Chain A
Amino acid sequence: MCGVIFLKKRIVKLKRRIVESMDFPAEAALGLARIQLLGQEKMYVENHRGVLAYRADCIRLKAEEGVLRIEGESMTLCELRRDRLYISGRISGLFYETP
């Protein structure tokens, strides 16, 4: 079990090194979330892996690199697609939750 996790981590590291050496865009090759903020009112997330929690003041999104927590007020999920989503409202904070 321990060995499997170790192997996984090594594969990720190897991938990262290859991507960096070849100068690939990381979001495409590694599946990292790509986030765009428009002021405080709009947010555009690509490469998400699903919605974990949704309340008007807090949204938790699953991403490749961990859990992304967005805090704000009266937030709505304006558009929701398999790989991208669009939040509007009053965004006050953006955090990565360490597992």
Chain B
Amino acid sequence: MPSPFFYIFAAMMLSGGLMVIFMRNPVSSALSMVLSFLGLAGIFIGLNAYFVGILQILVYAGAIMVLFIFIIMLLDVKDEESHPRKGLAITAGVLIPVALIIQLAGVILTDDKSPSAPPLTLEAAAADYKQESVIHKKLSNGSLPDVHLIGRKLFTEYNFPLQVIAVLLLVATVGCVALSKKSSAPKDGAKPDKG
């Protein structure tokens, strides 16, 4: 049985995804989404992408899930019991993804010899970095300095996209404030609420 962890995490991710759809209570859906992303983070770590895996846990389980649950509780949404499910939507929602999967499997199964992950040669890669740098030391010790390498790339090659992302976050913040502010000019003369 090759690499059981991969299958454990993949099963966790896919079952979490299915539970997001089939749970009727939105809070359960949000928690299933976190289960799914924990499995995904495990797969990322199995792919030697430690930084991205940790980032996935921090951002999704730490920030986005809390935001979702906060909004669900703030809005006090009733269950979907009063809304009968529509047969057409369920049929389309099953058929279209299944068609997608069949297409994908058809493409992938034509390739009967798919490669395994090529090995990383960390000691050889160390020669490209300065002798006294952290990256060089860690690489020659045989460990992958994932965060250092990503940080180096982020602040050199990807510096401009980083600045653009900063502006995007600012715009999103301003947009959130503008959207959630109650309009100061009520139309029908009612007194505006505080907040």
**A and B: partners?**
no
Chain A contacts to B: CB under 8 angstroms: none
